Amino acid sequence: MATINDKAVLQTIFNPNTPFGDIPGQDAEQEELIQDNDSKFDAELLEQAKYLELQGISAAESGDISTALEKFNQAIHLLPDRASGYNNRAQTLRLKGNISGAMEDLSRAIELSNGKGHTACQAFVQRGLIHRLQRKDDAAREDFQKAACLGSTFAKQQMILLNPYAAICNQMLADMIQKLRNPDSQGFYCE
């Protein structure tokens, strides 16, 4: 039978447009290992900030970017030393097209989290994705490596895809699958 890593590779090959290439249930244990340490914050302010962030996420998911930014700004104003607000605002800034602002917020989230915990993991993944879009593969690989060390299965998959040998292998496999699905004029087909 296939291992979890085998399933992840197959998931990436056969469903390359899956947002994070996740396999349901695969990350459950890892999520528990990388929780943020929010114990240093006042409990009441923390609850308020979390509520504002949830409102911001909901607004962003419904396409209301202005409200999302407003809610994240409020959460950051309430607890300026909490990384999560910056990470969430970065996603919204990226959706708005403000890549430099997103990168600043992601770097701030990583700095505030000391590169540890769930928020740092998400920020490394997001920053790695932006680097990939900008064709800065070395920087992307570095961020994905850090996220992978924090438990991100998606980051591990991205590191595989950034490996030049894996890319050649994936391309050959994709070509073979394409030929199986659509026989070409050279007579390669299956019945």
Question: What does the DSSP 8-state code read for residue 187?
Answer: S
Given this model, what pLDDT does residue 121 score? 94
Given this model, what pLDDT does residue 93 score? 95
Spell out the alpha helix ranges (H) of 4-136: 4-14, 28-33, 43-61, 65-78, 83-96, 99-112, 117-133
Reported as a single tens digit per residue, the pLDDT across 131-165 is 999 999 999 999 999 999 998 999 988 887 787 66
Assigned fold of 39-152: 1.25.40
What φ, ψ does residue 135 adopt, rounded to 5°? Answer: 60, 35
Q: pTM of whole model > 0.75?
A: no
Given this model, what pLDDT does residue 6 score? 55
Q: In the block, which residue shows the tokens 């879009």?
A: 133
Given this model, what pLDDT does residue 164 score? 67
Q: Which two tokens stand for residue 12?
A: 């990436």
The list of the chain residues with pLDDT below 50 reads: 1, 17, 19-33, 185, 187-191
